[in-house]
Amino acid sequence: MPEITVNMAAGRTDEQKAGMMRDITQALVTHLGVAAEDVVIQINEAPLTNKMKGGKTFVERKAAQGK
């Protein structure tokens, strides 16, 4: 049973996350030959204030993009 964990910044809609999980499931079915019912996917979301890249939190990066 393949189990996939996705770590990402919070902010996507439930529909976006469900679509991503469906696409990942289908990729495993296609490439690994497993049944969709055997695929487990978990999303771990971090608030934008708790995630940093390049020395700036994702909140700071988002604010800089808006300027």
10 Å CB burial of residue 4 (0-12, 13-18, 19+) is middle
Residue 47 annotated as catalytic: no
**Owner of token pair 């469900």:** 18
User: Of 1, 2, 32, 49, which residue is the catalytic one?
Assistant: 2
> Which residues carry out catalysis?
2
